[in-house]
Amino acid sequence: MAINGVTISSPTFNYPVSPAASKPKPRKAIHCAAVDLGATSGRVIVGTWSGGALKLTEVHRFPNAFQSLGRHDYWNLPGLWAEAQAGLRKAAASFPRIASVGVDTWGVDHVLVDDIGRLVFPAHAYRDARTQAGLQRLANTRAALERIYAATGIPNVFYNSSLQLAEAVASCPAVTDLASRCLLLPDYFNFLLSGRMENELTIASTTQLLDVHSTDWSRATLDYFHLPPRWFSTPVFPGRKLGRVTGIPELKDAEVIVVPGHDTAAAYDAMPAEPGGADLFVSCGTWSLVGFESDRPVLGPDALAARVANERTAGGGYRPLTNVIGFWLLEGVLKAFPNRPRSEQDRNRLTAAAAALPAPRQLLDTTDPAFVNPPSMRAAIDAQLKAAGARPPRDLPGYVRLICASLGRGQADAKIRFEQMTGRRFARILVVGGGSRNPLLCQATADAAGIPVVSYSLEGTAVGNLARQLIALGAVKDLATFRACLARQLKGTVHSPRGT
Ligand code: LFR
């Protein structure tokens, strides 16, 4: 299918639903638009639900990157909004009637606005180094560190909104008078689309400010970081309708529906998981998010040491996960090679060349803070290897081999730690996102974890976003139904572990 020059060729973009799951109704096709913003790229995807099947059409895709100005890193919000609008206009031009729109983005980043939604502080990017002092301070204050983890279930990580907001208040105290609301980025885009300001639950849970035992904010944690409680409203659950689109005349009849605003929550919703909880999930893109779903959080000293983040699912449950650095490593290294791949075909060739190389003797420590935002990723990798007495790779395939093997080890380590902490045993690892299309990484993960990895070529974040819209519109009964359909209809690639 080709729309506006974008061709969707993968058969996995069609999700027929069996009659048992959803009796075919003589209804017209329903079209929903997912605005899915990632830290390195964004897209607008239309999901068409018809005759019990979901079809995806990518109508718009664009690169995204934070930009440095002076000593800080910022998001280009006007640019992102322009791209989101352009994508939504294309959606409206290509489909007869878009019923609804939902927005998901990466976690933690936010805006501070006044009563009418005007920005009163620039939107910093989470890799900005401004949180380093606060990060160290909390790391060195054991009692506070434990108290905050017990209260929020979120470990002390450089990108937390808590640390970012505390820095904003400390460096610019007037911001507490200027701002009346803190909106996470999906909340802000929902506001731009609908005029309504709401905080959404899944994205709120990335802030380190939400109470881990309720679905409201942790007053003690807000106080610790000197943040005004009035900036935050009780989070709404995904599925809430915010009213019609106001800013884009072509979409004036479409509803703005709150979806899991956090892209990782959306991606986990799209996992074709077996019921029973024996699947470990990996949503792999710029970050690799390794975790599972649980009806209770994983807390305590071991979880804190393993930096387990108890983020929330769209239903209010828990998604204990660890963040492995992901393809940020590769995206960084590619910048050092002018002959880097430009097409999908080139990328496949590079992966194949890397797969033909012998396994690296020395793996990277993927938790090294030097990889967070280095001026040169290649230099940061070389420095770590040299410090360990190992020789850096000679060429790009060598780096790809090293990165995939190291990420595979990192993902497998997360699985092992989860099993130790919870007593669970995982039988499979399901992978969605860009990393699912990298057989080298999937195989490295299977080999290191000792269980099969099943990869699905699936834009999980957009699919989860669309799933919640369809549920809110009454077209799909519930998430379990949606997942059961995916599990029956999607063809995964199985990477079986190889003995060493
Ligand atoms: C992935 C993600 C992760 C979050 C990181 C920073 O896109 O949302 O879940 O930890 O970005 O926000």
The phi, psi pair for 88, rounded to 5°, reads -70, -35
Residue 394 Cα to ligand 1 middle (Å): 31
Which atom of ligand 1 lies closest to the CA of 262?
Answer: 8
pLDDT tens sequence across 15-56: 433 333 444 444 689 999 999 999 999 999 999 988 778 899
What is the pLDDT averaged over residues 249-261?
A: 97
Determine which residue's CA is closest to atom 8 belonging to ligand 1: 106
Find out whether 402 and 390 touch, Cβ atoms under 8 Å: no
CA neighbor of 300 nearest in space, from 432, 212, 218: 212
Between 49 and 122, the more confident residue is: 122
The residue whose CA has the least distance to atom 5 of ligand 1 is 107
To the nearest whole percent, how much of the chain has pLDDT over 90? 88
User: Which residue, judged by its Cα, is nearest atom 2 of ligand 1?
Assistant: 106
Position 146 scores a pLDDT of: 98
Stretch 444-454: mean pLDDT, rounded?
98
Q: How many angstroms from the chain centroid is the CA of residue 46?
A: 19
Residue nearest to atom 7 of ligand 1 (CA): 106
Residue 136 Cα to chain centre, angstroms: 25
Q: How far does the centroid of ligand 1 lie from the alpha carbon of residue 500, in Å? A: 33
Average pLDDT over residues 216-229: 98
Report the atom number in ligand 1 closest to the C-alpha of 311: 9
Asked if pLDDT for residue 2 goes beyond 60, the answer is: no
* CA of residue 156 to ligand 1 center, whole Å: 14
Centre of ligand 1 from the C-alpha of residue 287, in Å: 7
Q: Ligand 1: residues within 6 Å at CB?
A: 38-39, 106-108, 126, 159, 262-264, 286-287, 289, 323
pLDDT, one tens digit per residue, over 84-108 is 999 999 999 999 899 999 999 999 9
Nearest Cα residue to atom 4 of ligand 1: 107
Which ligand 1 atom sits closest to the C-alpha of 106?
A: 8
Q: Taking 90 as the threshold, does the pLDDT of residue 490 lie above it? A: no
Q: How many CB atoms lie within 10 A of CB 267?
A: 28
- The alpha carbon of 224 and the centre of ligand 1 are apart by a number of angstroms equal to 24
**What is the model's pLDDT at position 7?**
28
Does residue 484 or residue 263 have the better pLDDT?
Answer: 263
Please state the atom number of ligand 1 nearest to the C-alpha of residue 264.
9
Q: Which of 158, 206, 207, 319 to mutate to test the pocket of ligand 1 (most atoms within 8 A of CB)?
A: 206
Q: What is the pLDDT of residues 307-323, one digit of tens each?
A: 999 999 999 999 999 99
Query: 500 or 262, which is more confident?
Result: 262
The helix or strand, by DSSP H or E, that contains position 104, with its residue range, turns out to be strand 98-105
* Distance of CA 23 from the midpoint of ligand 1 (Å): 36
| Ligand 1 atom closest to Cα of residue 283 | 1
Tell me the average pLDDT across 119-126. Answer: 98
DSSP state for residue 262 in the 8-state scheme: B
Percent share of the chain, pLDDT over 70 = 94
What pLDDT score was predicted for residue 346?
96
**Cβ atoms within 10 Å of 449's Cβ, excluding its own:** 24
84 C-beta neighbours (distance < 10 Å), count: 25
Question: What count of other Cβ atoms lies within 10 Å of the Cβ of residue 203?
Answer: 34
Q: Which one from 36, 187, 263, 279 is the annotated catalytic residue?
A: 263
Check residue 27 and give its pLDDT: 64
Whole-number Å distance, alpha carbon 360 to ligand 1 midpoint, is 28
pLDDT score of 500 more than 70: no
Q: Which of 104, 323, 327, 373 to mutate to test the pocket of ligand 1 (most atoms within 8 A of CB)?
A: 323
263 an active-site residue? yes
CA of 21 to the centre of ligand 1 (A): 32
How does residue 6 score in pLDDT terms, banded at 50, 70 and 90?
A: very low
| φ/ψ of residue 222, rounded to 5 | -60, -40
Which amino acid residue places its CA nearest to atom 9 of ligand 1?
Answer: 264
Q: Is the pLDDT of residue 136 over 80?
A: yes
The residue whose CA has the least distance to atom 1 of ligand 1 is 106
Residue nearest to atom 10 of ligand 1 (CA): 107
**Sheet with 309-312, edge to edge strand ranges:** 309-312, 318-324, 288-291, 279-284, 428-432, 453-455, 493-495
Arithmetic mean of pLDDT over the chain: 93
**For residue 184, which amino acid is it?**
L
Point out the least confidently predicted range of 251-260, 395-404, 429-438, 484-493.
484-493
